[in-house]
A and B are shown apart, each in its own frame.
Chain A
């Protein structure tokens, strides 16, 4: 009986192989190599643009900071601050230029920088009361620590007041201390959010301005850049590299 079933099985397998080969005939491989090369080139171009953009932001920021330092040795009164985009010990080590409104500008500036011309950031209006990235770089008052009960003002998820707790007004900027954990998890408006660009390694907490938009999206801005947050869906956070 077993032998009969075994024979039946192998007969079915044989018919199955033949039938499947007829239903799904082999694909042609003509032009595939060229298409793959095109895709590789496209991937490489994206990486190059990303590296170039970040380099320009770093070099430009460093130059601007250096010029500011040499021009005025007493740098005490910062606000309203212009973008000092060099990474700091209190900022994520990965620059979030991808999420800033000026990402396209950064790429354009990358080309300018490669030609030997340092990018010149647009001047900030002097009377700004609220922070903005409208010009592609940060302008406005320097971020302040948040009102969270954790270290340096980080949220602990036990706060009852906005911005850690619920009641955040859409469109309004809140001073907020961003924890530098590489999980990217933060508490805001009484809910958990996850950064779209968490730092690859843990960094010290840093101050930002955070805003809930009318469409429900959240992003923070700071002299180091702008990063979006998305609602935390309960997925395990990405492992740290460091």
Chain B
């Protein structure tokens, strides 16, 4: 058999595989979106607002947090069709966190993110008995990225230690340590605030 004939046969196999991929794409586009949409709508209505809020504490940028979660959701829709997602909220949390981390590949970007957090405007009209101090924002910015992630997921999003560990892809013990150290730093800021009131 001539080399060209071999090439053509090998080419046929690739063409067939690609044609199948094309047809699958067309079919899934028409049929699967309906079932996905229900689950997606539930997530957006229930979990999305809290997750964006928590991630904005991590990166100090609400727009970046929204972008990360929306991108994770778009990927989730595609991944769901392949049946690779067991729990949509858990999957989206992991992917969105990774998205944010990818933005931080350079140190300068991380420093900018910390600065953005410091620039965070605390909303006015806060209840008298819960005064939010800028000290807390500054204390948050002084935490390491991982400590901030743990604090945001555990205290802002309300995840358990195990769920936080799963989202951060670390052990429960690591999360406990991160939370304990973060609590010490943030607790000081909260106590200062209390002393100022007193």
- Residues of A near any B CB (own CB < 8 A): 8-9, 12-13, 15-29, 32-33, 35-36, 39-40, 43-44, 47-48, 51-52, 54-55, 58-59, 61-62, 65-66, 68-69, 75, 84, 86-89, 93, 95
Contacts and interface: CB of A to CB of B under 8 A. Distances in A.
A27 B53 contact: yes
Contact of A12 (B50, B123, B186): B186
Nearest to B56: A24
B130 A62 contact: no
Contacts of B70: 32, 35-36, 39
B96 to A, nearest CB: 12
- Sort chain B's interface into a size bin: 35 or more
Contacts of A12: 183, 186-187, 190-191
B132 A22 contact: yes
A95 B165 CA distance: 40
A15 B3 contact: no
B49 to A, nearest CB: 4
B19 A22 contact: no
A13 B151 CA distance: 10
Contact of A58 (B14, B56, B57, B158): B14
A51 B22 contact: yes
B77 A36 contact: yes
Contacts of A52: 22
Contact of A87 (B7, B21, B137, B186): B7
Contacts of B119: none
Contacts of A68: 4
A65 B40 contact: no
A196 B126 CA distance: 53
Nearest to A65: B4
B6 interface: yes
Nearest to B134: A23
B123 to A, nearest CB: 6
B87 to A, nearest CB: 18
Contact of A18 (B78, B130, B137): B130
A55 B18 contact: yes
Contacts of B4: 65, 68-69, 75, 84
Interface string B1-30: 011101110111011001101100100010
Nearest to B179: A13
B190 A16 contact: yes
Contacts of A51: 18, 21-22, 25
22 contacts: A12-B191, A18-B130, A21-B156, A22-B123, A22-B126, A23-B122, A23-B140, A25-B123, A27-B53, A28-B49, A29-B44, A33-B40, A33-B41, A33-B44, A36-B74, A36-B77, A52-B22, A55-B15, A58-B15, A68-B4, A75-B4, A89-B6
Given A36-B70, A68-B4, 6 more contacts: A17-B156, A32-B48, A36-B73, A52-B22, A62-B15, A65-B4
Closest 6 CB pairs of A and B: A26-B49, A39-B74, A27-B52, A86-B11, A24-B53, A12-B187
Contacts of A86: 7-8, 10-11
Nearest to A68: B4
B34 interface: no
A145 to B, nearest CB: 16
B172 interface: no
B27 to A, nearest CB: 12
B115 interface: no
Contacts of B7: 62, 65, 84, 86-89
Interface in B96-134: 120, 122-123, 126, 130, 132-133
Nearest to A18: B130
Contacts of A48: 22, 25
Contacts of B187: 8-9, 12, 16
Given A33-B44, A86-B10, A87-B14, A17 B25 contact: no
Interface string B56-67: 110000100110
Contact of B183 (A16, A39, A43, A89): A16
